[in-house]
Amino acid sequence: MEIKVPEMGESITEGSIASWSKKEGDTVQFGELLLELETDKVNLEINAEADGVLEKIYKHEGDNVQVGEAVGLIRAGAAGAASAEPAKSEAAPAPSDPKEASQAQQQPTPVQPADTAAMHASPSVRKLARERGISLQEATELAGKVSKEQISGTAGKQSASSQPASVSAPKAAAAEQNPAKPVDRQKMSRRRQTIANRLVEAQRTAAMLTTFNEVDMTAIMEVRKRRKQSFQDKHNVNLGFMSFFTKAVVGALKAFPLLNAEIDGEDILVKKFYDIGIAVASKEGLVVPVVRDADRLSFADIERSIGDLAGKARENKLSLSDLQGGTFTITNGGVFGSLLSTPILNTPQVGILGMHTIQRRPVATSEDGMENRPMMYIALSYDHRIVDGSEAVRFLVTIKNLLEDPESLLLEG
């Protein structure tokens, strides 16, 4: 029974092997995890569909695969001991000459260095060796143990020696050869490649512009201070800042609907629902899970939804449905200490709000008076193709006013 890449959604047609949980010859049971597949958006687990033995692995760690492609073979119903049978069948045929057969029995079969290297090399190392065009034997230095660093060094020496003296080797290869200047070459994950491509595409296709303002967080911090414990006791969730900002964004989007739209050819699709994406930093890179129908949710519902999505992101358990269909995005660089930034659009959306760290600064409260207030810079990046500058500025001012008067969020939200 072949192990095939399952359907993963309309927008995903390929992925790459992140890791195998089993190796060739291992006994597997129905439903047991075989491998993890990395796609542009999420990681998927592929489980065994029958009991048996993992007889063959076609695709190794790092290899790209298409939907429907076979990545391995399970011999259904086989016992674990059967994994030794292929080794017997692959043995060399006995010599027909009795004299040759006698000599073959007397001489032990040598273990080839290449075989020893292949035995110790991981799938990712074998793939790297194939890409560099070198043998595993050449990279073996210590007890047949192959490492990526050994392969990189060997590849650098081989590429340098194979080129004419008049042609200078690439700078990266030269850096790898110099032990005083070590270089660690790492392959981009599929998700990191996708993030990079999307960010470049957003800057290339959208007329992106950013406007800034600042918010006096005094009122919100006072509300949180007074209500935080009772809110926790009643709803079993913390009262954070994100629910206030989400409600403020919804109120501003209702006042300025073009920020809740997208461009489709020569048409503008103005969306009458409010699915707010919340940017979350995960181990594999930035992801933007979506809080659905945020205008219909209470503060507690929003905080609970964001907490659940952030937890799934950290555990790499987000599904495609968690990531698709957002109408506007909020990103909070303040949790990492960012004072000011220009967020990049999450296309095809035309607006993204950037939050930043809260910093106490002297603020003029009257002609003669000043106070130290908790202030936050906020930034709105928008697509100037359909959103005018004045509209963007008023949108951000609306968010500022709503946040500085938290009671108004109950009316506007």
Cβ neighbours of residue 114 closer than 8 Å, sequence gap 6 or more? 135, 136, 137
Choosing from 97, 115, 388, 405, the catalytic residue is 388
Where in 39-165 does DSSP place strands (E)?
A: 43-47, 52-57, 64-66, 70-76
**Exposed e or buried b per residue across 356-372, where buried means at least 16 C-beta atoms within 10 angstroms of its C-beta:** bbbeeeeeeeeeeeeee
357, 280, 290, 275: which is closest to 322 by C-alpha? 290
- Is 384 assigned a catalytic role? yes
> Which amino acid type is present at position 254?
K
Residue 3, burial from CB neighbour count under 10 angstroms (0-12, 13-18, 19+) = buried
The identity of residue 64, as a single letter, is N
- The two tokens of residue 16 are 């790459």
Given the residues 97, 115, 384, 405, the one annotated as active site? 384
Please give the Cα distance from 316 to 282 (Å, whole number): 8
The string over 182-202, giving b where at least 16 C-beta atoms fall within 10 Å of a residue's C-beta and e elsewhere, is ebeeeeebbbeeebeebeeeb
Question: Which residues carry out catalysis?
Answer: 384, 388
